[in-house]
Chain A
């Protein structure tokens, strides 16, 4: 069995219940709904399409859920949220999830 599958549920939490804080690094010049975010040094693209009413700018913090920014939050709240995830034993699962965004970045293509 491959590791990718093994690890998907190896932490306490359900991925679907994770809300992961990230900082907007840049908005894609050719797609305003696509932003590069930084989550504890892991950088991936997330979708901003659900924040049409309060467009975040580079430097803003957002809560990310399954690859979509769900709400704008303060830097303090972002730090608190990361701390909560650590306390829940879910920080690693969160980072693993973020690493999984964007299939081209993972070993997803063919099952071993």
Chain B
């Protein structure tokens, strides 16, 4: 692990860790799910597990948008871009994600016009500067990213940009949490809520977890101290037999979220009846589609999409890892056939995926046999 004094406010961290040890009932095993891929990354990066008592287990949830995207969607998007008049635009995160016939980057090497954008807004610039081409933005992300895509679509419509469309893969976090809780082999005690998704949706949507499922939730920041404080909040609630939504990340997350962003999303998107998640299967009302009022800019309404379905290899146990039934290294393929350089399952695809995070920090650390001196 990293030494605590490398972190900001090391004294406070030590005090918070002491508080966690005081609150955790030694006769009980706690299973907390962090929903956000950013938290998963931070947990491994900071070696937080080493600071926690053994009976607090952190389960890595479905919060990495790249990881949960089914391969069929990538195949569909790339198939539309086979047309030489189409420019395939996507975030850098997508570039190495494998489709059946290779990643966007590999398609680029074979001659497809593939561009990395850092902002959806830049896809409009691309369309303006390439008037004889059609620019298709392959959009992914949770509610953090969806408002930016929505506003870009509104701008495209307002400006009447005709050579632009969005292939929409935006997903919503709450139905995924619900699906995980509904799964019969799942037993969780509480949730560490996503920080940046909550800047948009606020804390209110989590209240059903509290009400229906009686599970505490703490919306959390990304620093070690943030996550440790969130764990204190969860332990306190469990100790008192409470279940409520607490906002640890108040400095960034308003309780009501960003209403302007929610309005923009509501104007452009509607819920799909169902959507497939890698590792979790079909989840009802878990993704966004573009409303008919924006049909002209919706790649799925504008073009003939093949609707490819690709099932994950049977041997890959992504679903079990996603639900916390298995640890990443307990999957049969982990570190052998399935590695970050050659991902087979969803969770190895992006560095935010729990398997890739585990591989990059724990597996490599063990291999190098370094560090670890704790008091």
Interface residue ranges, A against B (CB under 8 Å): 1, 4-5, 8-9, 11-17, 19, 47, 49-53, 63, 65-68, 70-71, 73-74, 77, 80-81, 83-84, 87-89, 97-98, 100-104, 108-109, 111
Contacts and interface: CB of A to CB of B under 8 A. Distances in A.
Contacts, number: 168
A103 B351 contact: no
Interface in B114-159: 115-122, 125-126, 129, 140-141, 144-145, 147-148, 151, 155
A16 B67 CA distance: 12
Given A9-B351, A15-B92, A84-B222, A67 B122 contact: yes
Contacts of B245: none
Contact of A97 (B38, B118, B126, B221): B118
Given A14-B64, A50-B261, A52-B260, A84 B352 contact: no
B215 interface: no
7 contacts: A14-B65, A15-B92, A16-B140, A16-B145, A17-B38, A47-B119, A51-B260
Nearest to A68: B148
- Majority secondary structure of chain A interface residues (helix, strand, loop or mixed): mixed
Contacts of B37: 14, 17
A9 B93 contact: yes
Contact of B352 (A14, A66, A109): A14
B200 interface: yes
A66 B120 contact: yes
Contacts of A53: 258-260
Given A5-B116, A13-B41, A16-B144, 12 more contacts: A5-B105, A9-B95, A12-B41, A12-B351, A14-B66, A14-B93, A52-B260, A70-B147, A70-B199, A71-B199, A100-B122, A103-B126
A17 B261 contact: no
A100 B251 contact: no
Interface residues of B, number: 60
B174 interface: no
A63 B196 CA distance: 10
A47 B144 CA distance: 15
A50 B105 CA distance: 31
B10 to A, nearest CB: 12
Contact of B147 (A1, A68, A88, A97): A68
A16 B222 contact: no
Contacts of A97: 118
B303 interface: no
A102 B258 contact: no
